């Protein structure tokens, strides 16, 4: 039986195919809205269809037409509308939508003229100079498509950190019958908080390896068991066929294994070299004296590092970028923690493209223990997101003021906006509207193909705007989809530090923007940061953990992150506005 995520993906892909076929926009939106509603719905929709006492049309966003489609999916795993479009366009055409620079209309035109529907065929078309022969397509687009294809291929076989988290959570629950949760650990690049992962390394501390491995290879969602031995099993699992390697290890050597399999390669090599210099040997089983093989340390990571003359190094820092030297000096930073975050300052509601009301977002944030939030719906330039114009923005500020005065939600709310940065660096709303708001996030959502110098000037103009508080998702990247837009980051970060504009660490799993090297570069210039979720639904608020991971990878401490401050202290950090 398909789960909600799989059903939602079928509807989303069909909406994409309908766009390529240039069908009615209203019908396309109905499929996308239904996909979002189903993916976020707490109960399995396929189970609801089997229960005569329940109606899927009770789910907001599901009408009679979509309900019929869901019935077809439950019966045979597809539906008539999807099947009909696939007689005209092959499924591989969906892959072309992942290439930056191509939209549904372009893909339809390419198919009509050249019958091209795969990445390889598209690449050949560009290299032969044939794409530029089509209307409204030229050499620059060909070059952009080729660069995007290269980016897409680099991401092949990579998975978002959040997807690894999802799979690990399902396996933790499945193995709980034979493994206590505290003895289940995720190592590798996931533990270090890398934005994307290639596979998942699971370590289980146990005296009964056989029971753990037998349970693992029978987990739901496994497509193929790749191997099973005495202490290790590997399988492809989940809707994206992620490879998972599970190792069952005795407690006496668990710390050494956890350190070894967390990596990174460069960090591990540096530690092994350090061990050799001390006439020791370090491997996945422990730290041993070279002379006689006596165990020096193995049970915990802390003792491994201690015997190497180092403070314990947080996993997020283990990239061999100076952390070993700092650990030797006992001068590692005290990294910011998830529990330090007191507010989330970037989220959307139904006023633009969010899926919940202000009240629902506020109450969800309060349940997480937050003191304050900012509601930051889109500005008018994002017409497809129903962005706010000046009149709506000012009215919204008054609404928030009234809510805070009444105090019935039990959490402080800041009236904000995620305001588009226009092509020339002007803000999408006028100064009067911006002045009425507490929190202005400035973000680039368009014209990302500008040259570096032009984009740099565009962002510098934004920093100079006295109402801008935060630069949102500062590089514009979408993981596994879109490269960062080019600009002189050092120049812009210097300006942000000078003028008191914070840089966002966007916790959305598809963004995780900024990332570690740029965080460290900006922090060195005195930039302050905000870790936000860019939530479009209450459940997205939990993504804050990924943003905190990025902050830790960037070596940030609590004082570097403004939304770790209590509400009154946070308000004092807001830029002074012109009188």
**Cβ–Cβ < 8 Å for 342, 561:** no
Radius of gyration of the chain (CA): 26
Between CA 283 and CA 9 the distance in angstroms is 43
Point out the domain boundary residue: 223, 249, 275: 249
> The CATH number of the domain where 231 resides is what?
3.30.460.10
Where are the extended beta strands (E) located within 124-221? 159-160, 184-186, 196-197, 200-205
β-strand pairing of 222-228 with 184-186: unpaired
Same structural domain, 412 and 487: yes
Question: Of 427, 486, 478, which is closest to residue 456 (Cα–Cα)?
Answer: 486
Residues 505 and 361 in one domain: yes
Q: Any residues with CB less than 8 A from the CB of 489 and at least 6 apart, and which?
A: 475, 518, 521, 522
β 184-186/412-420 pair status: unpaired
Helix (H) or strand (E) holding 460: helix 452-464
38: enclosing H helix or E strand: helix 25-40
Last residue within a domain, chosen from 154, 180, 198: 154
Q: The domain spanning residue 88 has which CATH number?
A: 1.10.150.110
**At 300, which CATH number?**
3.30.210.10
Is residue 100, in this structure, part of any structural domain at all? yes
Cα separations in angstroms, 172 against 1, 18, 243, 350, 500? 21, 39, 16, 35, 43
**Do 125 and 194 fall into the same domain?**
no
The answer to whether the beta carbons of residues 505 and 550 sit under 8 Å apart is yes
Please state, in angstroms and rounded to a whole number, the distance separating the CA atoms of residues 125 and 51. Answer: 51
Instruction: Kindly state whether residues 375 and 519 are assigned to the same domain.
Output: yes
Q: State residue 355's pLDDT score.
A: 85
Considering 91, 121, 154, which residue would you say is the last residue of a domain?
Answer: 154
Q: Which H helix or E strand runs over 503?
A: strand 502-506
Taking the C-alpha atoms of residue 467 and residue 555, their distance in angstroms, rounded to an integer, is 29
Residues 134 and 180 in one domain: no
Of 37, 30, 32, give the one whose Cα is nearest residue 4. Answer: 37
Q: What angle do CA 478, 480, 484 make, to 5 degrees?
A: 40
- 8-state DSSP, 298: -
| Entry pTM | 0.85
Residue 406 is part of a domain; what is its CATH number? 3.20.20.140
Residue 187 lies in a domain: yes
Same domain for 536 and 440: yes
Q: Give pLDDT tens digits along the chain (579 positions).
A: 677 878 888 898 888 888 888 888 888 888 988 888 888 777 888 888 888 888 889 888 889 999 999 999 988 888 998 889 888 888 788 788 878 778 888 888 888 889 888 889 999 999 999 999 888 888 888 888 888 888 778 767 889 999 999 999 999 999 999 999 899 999 999 999 999 999 999 999 999 999 999 999 999 889 899 999 999 999 999 878 899 999 999 999 999 999 999 999 999 999 999 999 999 999 999 999 999 999 999 999 999 999 999 999 999 999 999 999 999 999 999 999 999 999 999 999 999 989 899 999 999 999 999 999 999 999 999 877 789 999 999 999 999 999 999 999 999 999 999 999 999 999 999 999 999 999 999 999 999 989 999 999 999 999 999 999 999 999 999 998 888 999 999 999 999 999 999 999 999 999 999 999 999 999 999 999 999 999 999 999 999 999 999 999 999 999 999 999 999 999 999 866 554
CA dist., res. 375 & res. 464, Å (int): 23
One domain, residues 408 and 521: yes
Specify if 256 maps to a domain.
no
Does residue 211 share a domain with residue 355?
Answer: no
Residue 506 within any structural domain of the chain? yes
Residue among 367, 375, 366 at smallest CA distance from 393: 375
| Lookup result for tokens 């396309």 | 28
Range of the domain at 195: 159-249
Structure tokens at 185: 């650990």
Q: Are residues 273 and 221 located together in one domain of the fold?
A: no
Residue 218 lies in a domain: yes
Element containing residue 248 per DSSP (H, E): strand 242-249
Q: Are residues 466 and 317 in the same domain?
A: no
**Paired tokens of 562:** 């403004």
Domain count of the fold of the chain: 4
CA–CA distance, 318 with 258 (Å, rounded to integer): 13
DSSP secondary-structure letter at 22? T
436 and 558 inside one domain: yes
CB contact at 8 A, 416 and 443: no
In a domain, 259, yes or no: no
Instruction: Assess if residue 60 is contained within a domain.
Output: yes
Half-sphere exposure at residue 441, Cβ-oriented, CA atoms within 13 angstroms: 32
Residue 503 within a domain: yes
Q: How much is the pLDDT for 38? A: 87
- The tokens for 457 are 């000037």
Q: Are residues 360 and 501 in the same domain?
A: yes
């Amino acid at each position: 039986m398909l789960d909600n995520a799989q059903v939602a993906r079928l509807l989303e892909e069909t909406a994409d195919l309908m766009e390529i076929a240039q069908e009615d926009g209203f019908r396309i939106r109905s499929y996308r809205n239904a996909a979002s509603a189903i993916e976020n719905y707490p109960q399995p929709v396929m189970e609801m269809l089997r229960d005569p006492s329940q109606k899927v049309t009770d789910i907001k966003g599901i009408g009679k037409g979509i309900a019929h489609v869901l019935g077809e999916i439950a019966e045979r795993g597809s539906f008539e509308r999807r099947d009909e479009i696939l007689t005209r366009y092959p499924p591989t055409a969906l892959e072309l939508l992942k290439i930056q620079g191509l939209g549904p209309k372009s893909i339809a035109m390419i198919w009509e003229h050249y019958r091209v529907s795969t990445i390889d065929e598209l690449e050949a078309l560009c290299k032969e100079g044939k794409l530029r022969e089509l209307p409204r397509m030229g050499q620059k687009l060909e070059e952009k498509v080729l660069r995007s294809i290269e980016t897409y291929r680099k991401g092949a076989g990579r998975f978002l950190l959040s997807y690894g988290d999802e799979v690990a959570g399902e396996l933790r629950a499945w193995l709980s019958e034979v493994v206590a949760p505290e003895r289940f650990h995720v190592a590798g690049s996931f533990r270090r908080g890398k934005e994307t992962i290639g596979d998942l390394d699971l370590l289980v501390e146990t005296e009964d390896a056989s029971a753990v491995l037998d349970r693992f290879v029978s987990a739901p969602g496994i497509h193929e068991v790749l191997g099973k031995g005495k202490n290790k099993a590997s399988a492809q699992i989940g809707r994206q066929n992620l490879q998972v390697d599970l190792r069952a290890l005795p407690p006496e050597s668990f710390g050494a294994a956890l350190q070894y399999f967390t990596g990174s390669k460069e960090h591990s090599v540096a530690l092994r070299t350090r061990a050799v210099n001390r006439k020791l040997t370090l491997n996945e089983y422990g730290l041993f004296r070279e002379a006689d093989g006596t165990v020096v340390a193995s049970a915990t990571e802390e003792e491994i590092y201690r015997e190497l003359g180092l403070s314990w190094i947080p996993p997020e820092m283990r990239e061999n970028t100076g952390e070993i030297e700092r650990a030797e000096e006992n001068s590692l930073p005290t990294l910011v923690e998830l529990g330090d975050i007191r507010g989330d300052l970037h989220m959307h509601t139904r006023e633009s493209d969010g899926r919940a009301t202000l009240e629902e977002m506020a109450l969800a944030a309060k349940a997480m223990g937050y003191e304050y939030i900012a509601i930051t719906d889109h500005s008018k330039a994002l017409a497809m997101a129903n962005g706010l114009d000046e009149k709506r923005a000012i009215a919204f500020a008054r609404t928030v003021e009234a809510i805070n005065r009444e105090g019935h939600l039990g959490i402080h709310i800041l009236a904000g906006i995620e305001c588009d940065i226009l092509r020339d660096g002007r803000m999408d709303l006028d100064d009067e509207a911006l002045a009425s708001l507490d929190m202005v996030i400035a973000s680039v959502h368009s014209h990302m193909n500008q040259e570096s110098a032009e984009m740099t000037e565009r962002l510098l103009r934004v920093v100079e705007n006295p109402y801008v508080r935060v630069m949102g998702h500062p590089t514009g990247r979408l993981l596994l989809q879109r490269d960062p837009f080019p600009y002189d980051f050092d120049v812009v970060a210097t300006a942000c530090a000078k003028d008191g504009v914070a840089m966002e660490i966007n916790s959305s799993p598809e963004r995780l923007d900024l990332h570690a090297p740029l965080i460290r570069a900006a922090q060195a210039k005195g930039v302050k940061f905000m870790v936000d979720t860019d939530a479009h639904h209450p459940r997205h608020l939990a993504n804050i953990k990924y943003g905190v991971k990025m902050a830790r990878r960037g070596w940030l401490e609590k004082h570097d992150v403004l939304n770790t401050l209590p509400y009154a202290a946070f308000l004092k950090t807001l830029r002074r506005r012109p009188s």
